[in-house]
Every structure is written in C-alpha cells, then in structure tokens.
Amino acid sequence: MPKLKLNEFSAREIQAFVEDIEKTNFKNQQRIDTAQREFPTQIKIAVMKRLGIPHVRIAQRLNIHRETISKYAKKNQRLFKKIHQDFKSGISIPDIAQKYDAPQPLVWPVILQEKNQT
C-alpha cells in the first residue's frame, strides 16, 4: 500500500479526520476518568455487606458469582484490620480512605466498630 501524502487530501477530508481523532481521544479520556472514579469490586462488596445486603443480591448487582463474594468477604476482613491498624498508628480517616481507595463512609464504621468492641 503506497503512503499517502498530506497534499493529496482535501481540507474537508483532513478536518473530518482530525475531528474523528479528537472524538476518539475524548471518548477514551472519559472511559479512563470513569474507571478511576469507580471503586474496586472489593470495596463495593464491603460497602454492600456493611449495609446488610445478602450475597445473592450483591452477586446479582455486580454480575459476579456468589462464591466470588465469599472470597472477597475474607479479603475484606483483612482490609478492615489494616484500616484499624492504620487508625491506631495515627493516620487520619481521609488519608486511610485515600490509601485504600475506599469511601470515608466505609472507613468510619470500621473504626467505630473496633472502638465499641474494646
């Protein structure tokens, strides 16, 4: 396939090509932004478990298998212990939330639950 030179295209063709590239780049940037705003599956499951939602309903909402929910529940217990240890070491709630990419409303109950148990 021979290489095409820029002077072989009309101004309209070049403009349409550039607009198409800009549109594609914009869509890609939106996807990246959306992905960064979404919480990881582990955090979503932790929040739903804290709200008392059963495994079956969580699996339906997140479109994942129920056994996966059970695996994440074990991981969440480790996450909660890490959160509590960080709090004991003097790290602030907003910093803990940022560190674990978790919403503050999830971090607060973990801290308060541990305080009530002691």
Q: Does 89 share its domain with 47?
A: yes
Q: Does 28 share its domain with 66?
A: no
- On average, the pLDDT of the chain sits at 83
Q: Does 22 share its domain with 78?
A: no
Q: Does 16 share its domain with 63?
A: no
Q: What is the pLDDT of residue 117?
A: 66
Q: Does 32 share its domain with 70?
A: no
What confidence tier does 57 reach under pLDDT thresholds 50, 70, 90? Answer: very high
Q: Does 54 share its domain with 101?
A: yes
Lowest mean pLDDT among 29-33, 48-52, 101-105: 29-33
What confidence tier does 116 reach under pLDDT thresholds 50, 70, 90? Answer: low
The residue range of the domain holding 77 is 41-117
Cα 83 to Cα 99: distance, rounded to the nearest angstrom: 9
Q: Indicate if the pLDDT at residue 21 is higher than 70.
A: yes
SS (H, E, C) 9-50: CCHHHHHHHHHHHHHHHHHHHHHHHHHHHCCCHHHHHHHHHH
Residue 3 lies in a domain: no
Q: What percent of the chain has pLDDT over 90?
A: 19
Q: What is the pLDDT of residue 29?
A: 79
Distinct helix (H) and strand (E) counts, the chain? 6, 0
In the predicted model, what is the mean pLDDT of residues 23-49?
76
Residue found under tokens 């909660």: 80
Q: Does 72 share its domain with 85?
A: yes
